[in-house]
Amino acid sequence: MVDIAKYPLPDGVDDVVLNREMLADALQVSPPTIDTYRKSGMPVITEGSNGRSYEFQLSACFAWISERKDIERSEDEQRKAAVRQMSLALLGKDESDPHAGLTEKQKKDLFAAEREYMALARERGEMMMRSSVVNMMIEVLQVYRDGLGILPDRLARECGLKPDQVEKAAAACDAMLQESADKVEKSLGAKLNARSGDPKLPS
């Protein structure tokens, strides 16, 4: 059963009944192609015989052909995927490798294009070197660390905190600083000492 709702006629096109030649003109194919479609299962309203023309509903035929093209496209993609997987298997390569299946020249051209793109992006200020981002975050953490380091004593002086309260405030500041360092480490892959701010970047 053809799903006309899934493959509707283009906007502004009326759904009419057409004979073989008119349907061929509407679909921009040859009459023999219409015969091939019909024999392959395209819907027919009236069977042609004894001088009587075949009649077709335009919407049903359009939906049938559209569905057929989708199926053929899907099958073609599956075949290409199977060929690609077999080729990689024979070459001993991993399909997850984005450069798998490329020739050395193609890889060289791809890497050159990537370098040009990154250089242009840095010039425009759209991209920063990873080391620059890490250093910037380290500086921010150092300011953060210095401020939190003196905060408990400042609260003791200005707010009259008791010694046990100062200890709790110091513990809270340490925890906050460590959490910030952990988030930076997770995002940038930089090993940070929350207390010293000393970065250790992975090689």
Q: Where residue 2 falls among pLDDT bands split at 50, 70, 90?
A: confident
Query: Per-residue pLDDT tens for 159-178?
Result: 888 888 888 888 888 888 88
CA dist., res. 185 & res. 102, Å (int): 34
Query: Per-residue pLDDT tens for 24-74?
Result: 999 999 999 999 999 999 999 999 888 889 999 999 999 999 999 999 999
- Residue 70: name the closest of 3, 15, 23 by CA: 3
CA dist., res. 133 & res. 184, Å (int): 10
pTM of the predicted model as reported, rounded to 2 decimal places: 0.44
Domain ranges of the chain: 17-73, 77-91+101-124, 130-195
pLDDT at residue 188, rounded to an integer: 67
**Fold type of domain 17-73:** Arc Repressor Mutant, subunit A (1.10.10)
pLDDT at residue 202, rounded to an integer: 38
Q: Where residue 193 falls among pLDDT bands split at 50, 70, 90?
A: low
User: Does residue 5 surpass a pLDDT of 80?
Assistant: yes
CB atoms within 10 A of CB 107: 11
User: Does residue 97 surpass a pLDDT of 80?
Assistant: no
Q: Under a CB-based contact definition with an 8 Å cutoff, are residues 122 and 115 in contact?
A: no
Lowest mean pLDDT among 71-75, 129-133, 140-144: 129-133
